[in-house]
Amino acid sequence: MRYLILNKPYEVLTQFTDEQGRATLKDFVPVPGVYPVGRLDFDSEGLLLLTDDKQLQHRLSDPRYKVPKTYWAQVEGQPTEAALEPLRQGVTIKDGPTQPAAARTLPDAVEADLWPRTPPIRYRASIPASWVEIVIAEGMNRQVRKMTAAVGLPCLRLVRVALGELTLSGLAPGQWRDLTAAEVADLRALAGAGQTHPRPTRPAWSGSSGSSGSSNKLGSSTPTTARRPGPRRARS
């Protein structure tokens, strides 16, 4: 079986064909028979897992198995504890109530650790932009964007930086690599593959505000909750 990690670029569809001629996974991953685990929206970026392991694909995508997905969201305005607390309790969006998420502010310096987005977000001097880290275990349509909007923080840019403890580990946009046997084993354990019932998980931190911790070029920075694998050769 194959297990691949891709740094999905901005404005790429999480599918292999498109009748409108937009960029798809086929433009970046020349591996037949693998399919994305979950979805990452056209205008979102970052970590995407692809595999032909149907059982693992199902368990990593199913919210019953509570696999944490970590996002960095650039939002309009300055997040306060009062704004982030509803995210930690669960908010109601168009698709229904969300489960409690982990949410905290990030220092503005994390932007320097990410790759530049093309095109860049629209700059407005009168409205500051800030970064927050959000960890969810669901996968509603455009969920993180709807969650931040619900607390008055419209999302300008969204990057998935981790799935469980798996990170992008230096992959540039459009690059991919095979997972190691140890990484696959970690994912299978996280999703309870081979178990009858889902095993409960919860974020490794409480959700209070603070810095993101260490810097490791995610293409750069990596959340403190995530393991940082050593560098590996990427394929473009």
Instruction: Give the bridge partners for 209, in sequence order.
Output: none
Whether residue 41 lies in the annotated active site: yes
Paired sense of beta strands 45-51 and 92-93, if any:
unpaired
Determine whether 182 is exposed, middle or buried from the number of CB atoms within 10 Å of its CB (0-12, 13-18, 19+).
exposed
C-alpha triplet 115, 121, 125: angle, nearest 5°: 120
Q: Where are the alpha helices (DSSP H) in the chain?
A: 54-61, 81-89, 110-113, 143-150, 181-190
The CA–CA distances, whole Å, from 94 to 89, 139, 141, 175, 213 equal: 17, 14, 10, 34, 34
Catalytic residue among 18, 27, 41, 43, which? 41
Residues recognised as catalytic: 41
